[in-house]
Amino acid sequence: MSVRHAGHETAACRTGHPGQTSREESPHFFGRKVVKRAIFVAYLIFWLGVAYAITIGYRSMRLHTHARTNTIMSSGIFRADDRLGFAAHPGVTGTLFFASAPHIPMRFDQNGCRVPLDYDPDAERSGGTLLTLGCSFTDGFACSAEDTYPFLLGDQLDAKTLNAGFGAYGLAQMLIQARELIPKFKPDYVSVQYSPWLIDRALHEYAPNDIGKRPQPFFWRDDEGRLQLHGPVFRTSAFRFPVADYRKDAQGQNSFASFLWRLGFPFFLANDIQVLGFRLRQAVGLVPRPDDNRMDVLRYAYGDMLDICRENGSQMVVCSLAHPWDPPRSGEQEALQAMPGVIFVDGWATLTNTLADGDPETYQRAYAHYRGDPPVLVDGHPNPAAHALIADAIARQIAAAAHKEVRNK
């Protein structure tokens, strides 16, 4: 009887009475499950946060090293721009710092064009106005402004020079500048740079950059297949952070801990939030993807600039500039040469034809920036000797075209 009763009670305990709450359904058990899940989620978030902090620390370390060892522009020169992505503050002056002195002074006029420190915008010139468009090869990165081919060419033409070339610009920015500056100034000559990377940049949302993601305008196709310009996908916050203040020779700003706390974490966190927001908008179709047809973009952009030049009485010059590790692409120079009315200058051939051989190292020794004894490479952009050859080549082609026009009259 006792055994049977015990078994009966055991079964009763197992089955319970009608309306009785089981252990799994009790409020205490449910509460423990919620707590366990919350702890797991918190644990997961904690370690994801740790992993993300490590990525920021790593990127900050690279950026700190870049600021201390690479060529870098002084803080306060650049600004975010809703059309171009980034540009110089009008009328600003600053310094391009190398890893070691001497450094290069920088000055930009009210139009954002680079000018020499002693430049007089009101000086009388008999040769009209020269506008140049391009990237750092035209801007003259690592050279004094007066040693760049735009100003050397302007001197030969006795023309007022508007050097609108800008570091990291691509073909999209150049077209935007052309649409604004050519009707505004109606220059006699518009020298437009061709380099293969200018097209590459116009097919991506971000500009080449060692400091986070920096958006830029790009080309895309609408529903009817027509090429269009799209503005920067967000307004960069990069220029709010004074990276150059942590260069090697800056006073009291060399601590990585200070850099990480004051600049690294806030900079990369802000940049990552902007990038995430953009990617989400692109994923739901609010932002188009860039086009990928190089030749169509080349013909569209340079063709549009040619039309603008014709409408404003300007002579368009296309100057081909390249690098041994990124030479002109097959068919692209030929397409530009075939454009009616364009003066084409093969600046790349001008530089390479003077060399003993085609070895990239030979090119670099002749035309890059070296300092010290023994000489050490400090920057790969064209040096003053290269700029002088480019200016001479453009001046010769302009003179030849003018002579041909006179003969045909």
Q: Which of 323, 369, 375, 365 is nearest to 98 (CA)?
A: 369
What mean pLDDT comes out for the span 27-50?
81
**C-alpha span between 402 and 84 (Å, rounded):** 34
- Segment 264-281, tens digit of pLDDT: 999 999 999 999 999 999
Domain 109-203+292-408 bears CATH identifier 3.60.15.30: no
Across all residues in the chain, what is the average pLDDT? 89
pLDDT of 17 above 80: no
- Segment 105-122, tens digit of pLDDT: 999 999 999 999 999 988
The fraction of the chain above a pLDDT of 90, given in percent, is: 69
Domain ranges within the chain, ordered by starting residue = 32-85+92-108+237-286, 109-203+292-408
Tell me what percent of the chain is helix, strand and coil, each rounded to the nearest 5. Answer: 45, 15, 35
Beta strand 315-320 with 227-230: parallel, antiparallel or unpaired?
unpaired
DSSP secondary structure letter of residue 323: B
Its pTM surpasses 0.85:
yes
What mean pLDDT comes out for the span 285-305?
97
**C-alpha span between 326 and 344 (Å, rounded):** 20
